[in-house]
Amino acid sequence: MRARLARAELTGRIAYHVAKERITNPRPVTLRDVPPTPEHLTNEWLTLALCRGIPGAKVLEYELGPRTDGTSSRRTLRVTFNDAGREAGLTEWLFTKSGPGFMTRLVSAAVGLGAIESAFYAQLRPELVIEAPTTQYSAYDPVTKRQLLIVDNVSRTRGAHFGNILTRQLEREQAEQVIDTLAALHAQFWNTSLRKRFGHWLLDSYEWMARLNTTINAPARILVGFERAREVIPTRLYRRSKEVPAALMRSLKINIAGPQTLLHGDVHPGNWYVTGDNRMGLYDWQCVVCGGWARDIAYALSTHLTVENRRAWERDLVARYCDRLAEAGCQVPNAAESFLAYRQQMLHAMFMWLVTIGRYALQPEMQPKDVTLESVRRTCRAAADLDSLEAITGPDRDRVLPGG
């Protein structure tokens, strides 16, 4: 009852603010004013946001590209600077994310996506050693639930190209680069007091999932996902579908029992890009949490690799990941423990796509259906191949593993 009342209160608040914005058409004046959408930008505000620290630099005009919607609304932004701005090398090719519409903002606020990603780009992104878009402006208004993120448009600034699970087929060398990138990210923040440094907006993997259980009734969404994607799910896993919500929470209890690090949380192929000089980069940091390493690795390998290549390469790639951590001075599990942790965390990968296809009818379609079905197929096949449910509920269930 309490959760339903909270959802109703949030729905009413967002409906009020979105309606008010459409009537009043507010224009930001200071950097404390979070623009509702890129359409509300002005040259003066962009000058404040993009020209800080550059004497005499100004934005003369800007142009917005087409809008695409998912869990957020995305638009490119091209800015024209005056001579002072151009001479300082300010970035003219930019990319924006926001929540302009009622449903987009509601979904983002309910799960905390906008608040998390805004805090990540404002606080954590400047410290990253891996390839990722550079923050130009990042803010979130907790009252109206507005988010506006401005980063560099890496397709222009770094010659990046993008793909998804259907269009990007990784060769072994590229799969190793995915592993090396995640190892570098995890090693940088290994066993660090992340909350003490950055704040309690950064949830651990169990808390993040518990929030979704309350805000979107994730257990029900998982079961709906099993029904809608039944055609691509292994029969023996489908028959145990009712065990999955509880097993997922158990796996995340295991995940937070060992060394913690920073996890991207949503490392499927659609959230990576390849730069012009062939470096792999990560974007879309709205699901970032702290937790054990295996959650990211299981998700990455099960979605990036074909079923056949995953089966052939996964042990070697998990071992490579642990080698990279050891090289960085991190304490790592032995081969048997690391592979058990990998098996146990496959349920997170499976969940992310079951809940995507199992969405409420009023939720925006977060991914194209063919992408979602193939993602469900691969992650569920991996969970079945690896006996992930048995790894959580069977004889090994009480083992506390480093980074599980």
The pLDDT of residue 302 is: 98
Whether 159-393 and 2-156 are alike in CATH topology: the answer is: no
Give the model confidence (pLDDT) of 271-301 as tens digits: 999 999 999 999 999 999 999 999 999 999 9
Residue 393 burial (CB count, 10 A): 16
What count of residues does the chain have? 404
Answer whether 149's CB lies under 8 Å from 121's CB: yes
Compute the distance between CA of residue 66 and CA of residue 332 in angstroms, rounded to an integer: 46
Multiple choice CATH, 2-156, 3.30.70, 3.30.200, 2.60.40, 3.10.450: 3.30.200
Which tokens hold the place of 109? 């606020």
Given a contact cutoff of 8 angstroms between Cβ atoms, the answer to whether 77 and 152 are in contact is no
Residue bearing tokens 């959650």: 295
Q: Where are the domains of the chain?
A: 2-156, 159-393
Cβ atoms of 80 and 74 within 8 Å: the answer is no
Architecture of domain 159-393: Alpha-Beta Complex (3.90)
Torsion of CA 337, 338, 344, 345, to 10 degrees: 160
Please report the pLDDT score of residue 333 as a whole number: 85
Which of 47-56, 69-78, 130-139, 201-210 has the least mean pLDDT?
Answer: 69-78
Beta bridge partners of 59: 81
Q: What is the pLDDT of residues 121-167, one digit of tens each?
A: 999 999 999 999 999 999 999 999 999 999 999 999 999 999 999 99
pLDDT at 400 (0 to 100)? 45
